[in-house]
Amino acid sequence: MKKSSATNLPIYKDPALPAARRVKDLLSRMTLEEKAAQMMCVWQKKSETLVNGDGSFDLRKAKATFKKGHGLGQVGRPSDAGKGKNAREMAELTNAIQKFFVQNSRLGIPVMFHEECLHGQAAIGGTSFPQPIGLGATFNPELVESLYAMTAEEARVRGTHQALTPVVDVARDPRWGRVEETFGEDPHLVTQLGLASVRGFQGDASFKDKKHIIATLKHFAAHGQPESGINCAPTNVSMRLLRETFLQPFKEAIQKANAISVMASYNEIDGVPSHASEWLLRDVLRKEWGFKGFIVSDYYAIWELGYRPDTHGHFVARDKKESCALAVRAGVNIEFPEPDCYLHLVELVRKGVLQESQLDELVAPMLFWKFKMGLFDDPYVNPDEAARLVGSEKNRKLALQAARETITLLKNTNNLVPLNPSKIKSIAVIGPNADRELLGGYSGRPKFYTSLLEGIRSKVGDRVQVPYCEGCKITVGGSWNQDLVTPSHPEEDRKLIQEAVKVAQQADVVVVAIGGNEQTSREAWSRKHMGDRTNLDLVGRQQELVTAMLSTGKPVIVFLFNGSPLSIQYLHENVPVIFECWYLGQECGHAVADVLFGDFNPGGKLPMTIPRSVGHLPAFYNYKPSARRGYLFDDVSPLYPFGFGLSYTTFTFKNPRLAKNKIRRNESTRLLVDVKNTGRRPGAEVVQMYIRDCVSSVTRPVKELKGFQKISLRPGETRTVALDITPESLAFYDIHMKYVVEPGEFEIMVGNSSCDSDLQTVILTVK
């Protein structure tokens, strides 16, 4: 047995040696069964194998299940054991599970714990901030990095090692229920916020401070434009569009931020499901891009290569054995969330269907990161520190800042907002979303939550009366996890609307909180749990409620809460003030009140186009020149364009210019523009740069976001903003599918939204 000459320990147990050397030594000692065990995970089966009824570690169950000492690769979501674990309890549980595997597996290989961390750890007590679609509205990579660094620390101190985040899908169909999990419709915006997320989670990826965790890019690939908007449906896109739009965020997050893990997607591309795609997972991801990390399956997706009766199947495998073989050959390192198809690994190797060397290849990177994270040397966490840190006041302030920056002002007729509470005696708060918890999917139970109603009442205190009426319901109940969605009853809604009218008539101003809820747009994960839409209209009697509020003659202010864009043509035409909030997280009410009364100037921008109706889809802004010629009887333009958002102040853009008007194809230049705050309030503006290749060998979008910068200006202040234009900003896949910059003229557009009327143009010549 090889030992380290310095310590007389087995090489793999010597912390002074490089991780790669320790992996090689450990692999040489492992049996086939032990290798297969590292490719498996336990999630809901924790209750059968690792924990008792209240979610505490059960040594008897663990010894009975893992008596052969082969070990286990991962444990999924220990936070949800029993009825859920708070920070201290989860730290104690992960320590106990970890101690068991270190002491009771033959080679003492530790397990890795993964958690959902979409917008804060989805656990009891975790700090909850806006859904990613809301973070997209901030256009603030620095803020996003801080949020995910915070989440990483909260998760790590509880024992977590891997986050199943960030989602870097580019969402191009608002019917799709998972839009809220994405940063929006634009590949450049998604890329920049994806880079920020990975850097926040992983830090420098040394993991020495025990404050960071592994990031998982998902869903690879092209999950964000499913056929008919239906989750997991085929993605029908060309190779050029696939590479330029859907693969780009993954590529950059791997090559520029060194993302360690990738989750394959449920969907198929050109007839090949991602979990069985050697081209996608080996040729592109590993060979082209140089990815050295590990690929995790999406939950139950390897099973779905065949047929999973409660949802769907791809029918490229006859049974789970064939599914196992396909996924291994494609390069899926570990199966989530339960031992299922990969239970056949040992049998398939013994029969010669698979080679043991194939398992070695897949196990090695997972062991490498267990070494790099210090799990062989210091695998435990401090429960006292977990209780102190998770959900802290410091983290709460960061969540509030994110919520404020998310809120997007779409309309403000006659500058009705911000409201001055000294001039108002009564504000009627109306609507199904006014006094309920609105966090969206993959949410935990934060220590704090403030509804819109609570936030307004807290802000104005006794100075202003704030009567409330629900007005109508959206759905009955409304839980994200609840399979059955029950529409509200029309007559009961109309009674509530009549009550709301009486309340509104007595007020000076009416604030209406409507939109969607966690059921009306969500991940559709089975035939019984749907979440995709055939229309984008307000569900139920919400438009009737708004009409009734307008009929009172009182000023009406609408706050929209939703996971995906809604077609709100009626509101646009009739309501004086509209805010888009998406889902704001635990500090929802405080952020709304800060914006409503002018303590914070809204600066959010739309990360996704708001279409006029579902019939206007697709509506994304970066379309091809022939795509938006017009409709009979209708306007082809969006209701609100990508990048749009108003402020309580005004900004002017002047003197756009290029540092160099002519460059060679391998050279760079800069766009400069003078931005002035011409209003009376300090505020933030997002300077957006779009580029169009005027004449090219293949058709190019009419404009593409290629740079942005968020700036804050005092009244009267002017700042010159510079945005880089590099060869990467101009390149695309040409007629021969070569990634090149073609010579010619490029329109360089700058402004505060993607709308042509908001942009000024200069010409760049590339020789």
Catalytically annotated residues = 298
Rounded to whole angstroms, how far apart are CA atoms 266 and 686?
Answer: 35
495 HSE (CA, 13 A, CB side): 4
Rounded to whole angstroms, how far apart are CA atoms 446 and 440?
Answer: 13
Strand order in the sheet with 294-296: 41-42, 74-76, 112-115, 162-163, 214-220, 261-264, 294-296
Rounded to whole angstroms, how far apart are CA atoms 269 and 289?
Answer: 19
With vertex at residue 95, the alpha carbon angle to CA 92 and CA 100, rounded to the nearest 5 degrees, is 130
Beta-strand pair 427-430/509-515: parallel
For the chain, the straight-line distance linking the first and the last C-alpha, in angstroms and rounded, comes to 64
Amino acid at 763: I
659 with 670: CB under 8 angstroms? yes
126 with 446: CB under 8 angstroms? yes
Tokens standing for residue 61: 């169950």
Nearest residue to 700 (alpha-carbon basis) of 663, 751, 738, 735: 735
566 with 521: CB under 8 angstroms? no
189 Cβ contact list (under 8 Å, min separation 6):
136, 139, 183, 607, 705, 708
Other residues' Cβ atoms within 10 Å of the Cβ of residue 528:
10
Question: Residue 104 class from Cβ within 10 Å (0-12 exposed, 13-18 middle, 19+ buried)?
Answer: middle
141 Cβ contact list (under 8 Å, min separation 6):
192, 193, 195, 196
Nearest residue to 286 (alpha-carbon basis) of 264, 316, 301, 267: 264
Q: Which residue has the tokens 């101009």?
A: 730
592 with 456: CB under 8 angstroms? yes
3-class DSSP state of 766: strand
479 with 522: CB under 8 angstroms? no
β-bridge mates for residue 409, sequence order: 579, 646
Other residues' Cβ atoms within 10 Å of the Cβ of residue 103:
8
Amino acid at 329: R
Size of the chain, expressed as the number of residues it contains: 767
Other residues' Cβ atoms within 10 Å of the Cβ of residue 756:
14
Cβ-count burial 477-511 (b if 16+ within 10 Å, e if not)? ebebeeeebeebeeeebeebbeebbebbeebebbb
Beta-strand pair 475-476/486-487: antiparallel
429 Cβ contact list (under 8 Å, min separation 6):
435, 452, 453, 456, 466, 467, 468, 469, 511, 513
Nearest residue to 243 (alpha-carbon basis) of 293, 284, 190: 284
Note the helical H segments in 331-392.
345-350, 356-372, 383-389
566 HSE (CA, 13 A, CB side): 26
With vertex at residue 411, the alpha carbon angle to CA 408 and CA 413, rounded to the nearest 5 degrees, is 145
For residue 120, what is the DSSP state?
Answer: B
3-class DSSP state of 92: helix
